[in-house]
Structure 1
Amino acid sequence: MTEHHLAVTRTARYYQQGELSAQTRQVWFVCHGYGQLAAYFSRHFAFLAAANPDTVIIAPEGLSRFYLQGNGGRMGASWMTRDDRLHEIDDHIGFLNQLAENVLAECPVDIHITVLGFSQGTATVTRWLTRTPIRPHHLILWAGSFPEDVDATLAQQLLSGLKTTLVVGTDDEYISVAQATRQQQYLAGLGAISQLITFAGKHELNRAVLEQLAGSQR
Structure 2
Amino acid sequence: MAAQEHHLHVQRTARYYQLGTPGPNTRRVWVVCHGYGQLAAYFIRHFAFLAEDDLNTVVLAPEGLSRFYLQGTSGRVGATWMTREDRLTEIEDYVTYLNQLSDTILAQCSPDVQILVLGFSQGAATVSRWLAHAPFRAARLVLWAGAFPPDMDLAVAARLLRQVPVTLVCGTQDEYVTAEAVAQQQAALLGLGVDPEIIWFEGRHQLDRAVLQRLKEIM
Match runs of 1:38-187 below 5 Å: 38-187=40-189
Q: Please report how far the alpha carbon of residue 131 of structure 1 lies from its aligned counterpart in structure 2 after TM superposition.
A: 1.4
2:212 aligned partner, one-letter code: L
CA distance in 2, matches of 1:2, 1:186: 38
CA positional deviation for 1:3: 1.2
After TM superposition, the structure 1 stretch with the greater mean CA deviation from structure 2, 145-154 or 192-201, is 192-201
Alignment-mate amino acid for residue 143 of structure 2: L
3-state secondary structure, aligned to 1:215: helix
CA distance in 1, matches of 2:69, 2:182: 31
Match status 1:189 vs 2:191: yes
Q: Given that residues 173 and 203 in structure 2 are in contact (C-alpha distance below 8 angstroms), is that contact kept between their aligned partners in structure 1?
A: yes
Is 2:186–2:195's contact at 8 Å kept on the other side of the alignment? no
Q: Distance in 2 between matches of 1:132 and 1:117?
A: 15
| Structure 2 residue identity aligned to 1:7 | H
C-alpha distance in structure 2 between counterparts of 1:128 and 1:28, whole Å? 15
Letter matched to residue 13 of structure 1: R
Instruction: Give aligned-pair identity as a percent.
Output: 57
Task: Find 2:22's aligned residue among 20, 23, 28.
Answer: 20
Alpha-carbon distance in structure 2 between the residues aligned to 1:17 and 1:192: 31
Q: Which amino acid aligns with 2:194?
A: A
Q: Which 10-residue stretch deviates more, 6-15 or 156-165?
A: 156-165
Cα contact 1:177–1:198 (8 A) shared by 2: no
- Matches of 1:157 and 1:54, distance apart in 2: 30
Unaligned runs of 5+ in 1: none
Runs of 4+ in 1 over 6 A off after TM superposition: none
TM-score for both structures, normalised by structure 2: 0.97
What is the one-letter code of the residue matched to 1:40?
Y
Q: Which amino acid aligns with 2:147?
A: S
**Please, what is the CA RMSD of the aligned residues?**
0.9
- Which secondary structure does the structure 1 equivalent of 2:79 belong to? strand
Alpha-carbon distance in 1 for matches of 2:162, 2:72: 45
Instruction: Write the distance in 2 (CA, Å) between the matches of 1:129 and 1:97.
Output: 9
Distance (whole Å) between structure 1 residues aligned to residue 100 and residue 186 of structure 2: 30
- Give the TM-score normalised by structure 1: 0.97
